[in-house]
Structure 1
Amino acid sequence: MEERVLVVASKLMAIGLIVISLVVGFISFYMMSDLSKEKKKRHVEEMSSQLINFIIFIWLGKVILNFSIFLKDPLAILAYPSNSEAFYLAVLFTALLLVYKSKRQRLDVQAFIESFLHVFLVASFVYEFIQLVWNNNTYSFGYLVLLAVLLVLFFLIRGHITAGTLITTILTVWSAGVFLLILMRPFITVFGYILAPWFMGLFFIISLIIIIIRYRKRDRNGRN
């Protein structure tokens, strides 16, 4: 009985830590963004909606990965922890949803991702800082330093370059930095989810491809 209570308490604390980090991220975005109040409100609502979708996609990922168990006992799936594979599926489903919304012109994806990066970087920094100071998790230090560098870079170059260039720059540096940290340390987590080298390597390659495509388009437009 005591073990169950401790497990539940541990999970609630982990969820609470993520919620606190995200709240700080949203407050930072609302206070520091150059957008109008109306746009800030719209972006906060959209980000909140996508976060809810992401949580749903994680649960969907759990069902897909444990489908045989789900068929036998649907409620048993609730006891299974959300692993990294479910996280990867949630990232994939979220990306597909954003592409769909962009194609249907329901969402300005570039503006959304720029706002999301602000919230994500601040929230991640707060989360890792608490992990380091409160939980004495020394593995958080390397990622904390990377996030600090990214935050400085984000706020320095924002407004001086296009949103697309800002997004690709931050995502490329982030994925490359995390990939190097994974090679140097036993594991790296993002909000408690362990990131595999193949996932970050793929993320980095995709970021590089986007940069190459953007520069080729710019060169063509310049020649024309």
Structure 2
Amino acid sequence: MVIVSKLISIGIIAVSMFAGFISYYITSDLSKEQRKKHMEEMISQLINFIIFIWLGKVILNFSIFIKDPLAILAYPSNSQSFYLAVLFSGLLLVYKSKRQQLYVLEFIESFLHVFLVASFTYEFIQLVWNDNTYAFGYLVLLTVLLVLFFLTRGRIAVITIIIMILTGWTAGVLLLTFIQPFVTVFGYIMAPWFVGLFFISSILLIIFKHRKRDRNGRN
């Protein structure tokens, strides 16, 4: 029964991500070649993220891993594993950006599209199918952010859209943590300290890359 429940949970995440990618491919204003390139990069980063979650499980349960490595396969990943995966993914993005293998701002904009649609789909399924009432507040937040994203896309600067969505998401999640017991993103509980740290780190990276690109452009 536990295995079936876990498989269903994974299936819901897979369906949600698929919806996000389909939405991006159909509605993106980029050329077909650019859309394909960004989707390949996002899928690559998603695979890396899954690997990083497993790596996080090993790091956080190293003593168990030494005694019984196979036990890690059955050990469920928790929010701490998710946090570490976000950290490792961020470091990888910074590295690829420094190597000029990735244009951060364009990637983040594409990622936000997929993330918002996938998250909306996931929370909608949780609310309607699993009757998870705690999903309602986050679903409302995602609806507002999605409307804002599609209304402003192509009309204002990319960096402005990114900062606006990140600020709205951070403020919304932090507000929800005060009015309900917990807030989850794809089933992982979001701690206020992590949300705040993620926001500050993301904004600093975005501003740094934007200023660096402006200097290079002027040069």
Report the TM-score when normalising by structure 1: 0.90
For residues 146-178 of structure 1, give each alpha carbon's deviation from its aligned partner in whole angstroms, at most 9, with x where no partner exists.
000000010111112221121111111101110
- 1:207 & 1:104 partners in 2: Cα distance? 19
- 1:104 & 1:215 partners in 2: Cα distance? 16
User: 2:55 matched to 1:57?
Assistant: no
List gaps (5 residues or longer) in structure 1: 1-5, 218-224
For residues 98-123 of structure 1, give each alpha carbon's deviation from its aligned partner in whole angstroms, at most 9, with x where no partner exists.
00000000011111110010000000
For residues 179-212 of structure 1, give each alpha carbon's deviation from its aligned partner in whole angstroms, at most 9, with x where no partner exists.
1101111011000101111111223344565688
- 2:210 & 2:46 partners in 1: Cα distance? 31
Do 2:123 and 2:138's aligned partners in 1 also have CA atoms closer than 8 Å?
Answer: yes
For residues 29-82 of structure 1, give each alpha carbon's deviation from its aligned partner in whole angstroms, at most 9, with x where no partner exists.
000000001111111111110000000000000000001111111111111100
- 1:211 & 1:95 partners in 2: Cα distance? 12
- 1:142 & 1:103 partners in 2: Cα distance? 38
TM-superposed CA distance for 1:28, in Å, is: 0.4
Do 2:104 and 2:209's aligned partners in 1 also have CA atoms closer than 8 Å?
Answer: no
What is the root-mean-square deviation of aligned Cα atoms in Å? 2.0
Bigger-Rg structure (1/2) = 1
Correspondence for 1:147? 142
Q: 2:161 aligns with which of 141, 166, 169?
A: 166
Moved more, 73-82 or 147-156: 73-82
User: 2:103 matched to 1:108?
Assistant: yes
CA pair 215-33 structure 1, distance change in 2 beyond 3 A: closer
CA pair 82-25 structure 1, distance change in 2 beyond 3 A: same
Q: 2:88 aligns with which of 93, 96, 99?
A: 93
Correspondence for 1:185? 180
Report the TM-score when normalising by structure 2: 0.92
List gaps (5 residues or longer) in structure 2: 213-219
How many residue pairs are counted as aligned between the two chains? 213
Do 1:21 and 1:123's aligned partners in 2 also have CA atoms closer than 8 Å?
Answer: yes
- 2:202 & 2:45 partners in 1: Cα distance? 21
User: 2:195 matched to 1:200?
Assistant: yes
Percent identity of equivalent pairs: 73
